[in-house]
Amino acid sequence: MEKYNTIDVAIDSWHALSGISVIDALWMGVPIIGMLPPPDPDKRPLPYLKYFGKEKWLAKNEREYIELCKQLANDETYRKSLKVTLRQEVIDNPLTDSKKYSENLYNCLKKIADDN
């Protein structure tokens, strides 16, 4: 996590869209660029950037991916503002509400047990 203090923009390898790398980067105040894979019914990764309201950092193709990287790399003022705001956005997001997650998981497991 300490390495994020030296990073201006994180670049998630496309077609991976790893949830952990997205959350780690946002937690450390670093914008992260991702790219949606081509539609494939067998591979539908969760677009974690959308859960955090950062769809604008999710490219639809390689050209857009490169352009987004350039834009963020060149906007130092915006990147500095993210160092201040992104962690709170992660804290406030329902996706990272561990109590709610635990309650939902418990209810799902209880339903499975009750149904069987």
What is the reported pLDDT for 39?
Answer: 61
**Phi-psi region at 36: left, alpha or beta (left = phi > 0; alpha = psi -120 to 50):** beta
What is the reported pLDDT for 28?
Answer: 94
Q: Which residue stretches of the chain have pLDDT < 50?
A: 41, 43-45
How many other β-carbons are positioned within 10 Å of the β-carbon of residue 81?
Answer: 12
pLDDT in tens, 80-109: 999 999 999 999 988 788 888 899 899 999
What is the reported pLDDT for 45?
Answer: 46
What is the reported pLDDT for 18?
Answer: 60
Domain boundaries, the chain: 2-115
Tokens of 72: 């963020």
Multiple choice CATH, 2-115, 3.40.50.261, 3.40.50.2000, 3.90.1150.10, 3.40.50.2300: 3.40.50.2000
Cβ neighbours of residue 74 under 8 Å, at least 6 residues apart?
none
Between the CA atoms of 17, 22, 51 and 113, what dihedral angle is there, to the nearest 10 degrees? 80
What is the reported pLDDT for 16?
Answer: 57
